[in-house]
Amino acid sequence: MTIPDARSVPGSIPGSRGAAPAPASPRVPAAPVDPRFLDRWSPRAFSPEPIDDATLATLFEAARWAPSCSNEQPWFFLYGSTPEDLEHFQPLLEPGNREWADRAPVLAVLFTRRAWKRTGKPNRWAQFDAGASWLALALQARALGLYAHAMGGFDEDLAYELLQVPREDYEAMAVIAIGRYGDPSSLPPRQLAKEFPNGRKPPAEVAHRGRLSA
């Protein structure tokens, strides 16, 4: 199976109906990196145009192949992609996130299993592994001309209740908006002011050779 690569057409995927171009990225790396790491960012202007099931399957397949400790694969995604589904996902978001994320055609909640399957003991690497699955999904989204924006601002208690997920088994980590780039003018002014790829802290604050001296 050949998966189309639409990175050369920002904000669109094959078969989309004229998705809006995303803002040009001002990001400049401090060392050579694959451009896909700079190209991935978290916009708020989403087009409500639906995402087909085959494309969604590709996104979650990328997440499925993320690495994990002892190949435990603790992540689990629940998602809504129809108006009926989204009625159970949109209320999970904090009001500030609903201002823009209600337009996204897909919302997914990333859960991670709390305990090891084989022992039942707490898995302290589960959150780390779930983060790897999220990045795999986000990079695959960009390869298809889509965007994925993960949010920590949601009602965790309501997520267990509305999505009927047992809290004792799973931890709700994030809600993810997925879709094509939309019209930035649809955003409230305070959200529009944040609609650009952000920067990163200096390399010296990320990695240091040897011991960390006082």
- Which pLDDT score, from 0 to 100, does residue 11 have? 37
Most confident of 2-11, 19-28, 80-89: 80-89
- With respect to CATH, is domain 48-191 assigned 3.20.20.70? no
* CB environment 198-211: b (16+ within 10 A), e (fewer): eeeeeeeeeeeeee
CA within 13 Å, CB half, 128 = 9
**Residues 107-143 pLDDT 10s:** 999 999 999 999 999 999 999 999 999 999 999 999 9
The reported pLDDT for the residue numbered 5 is 40
- Domain residue ranges of the chain, discontinuous segments joined by +: 48-191
Residue length of the chain:
214
Strand partners, 112: 75, 171
Q: Average pLDDT for residues 163-191, to the nearest whole number?
A: 97
pLDDT above 50 for 3: no
* 29, 100, 109 from 8: Cα distances, Å: 19, 26, 29
How high is the pLDDT of residue 138?
98
Q: What's the pLDDT score for residue 19?
A: 58
Q: Tell which phi-psi region holds residue 57, choosing left (phi > 0), alpha (psi between -120 and 50) or beta.
A: alpha
- Indicate whether this model's pTM tops 0.85: yes
Supply the mean pLDDT for the chain.
91
Q: Residue 63 and residue 60: Cα distance in Å, rounded?
A: 5
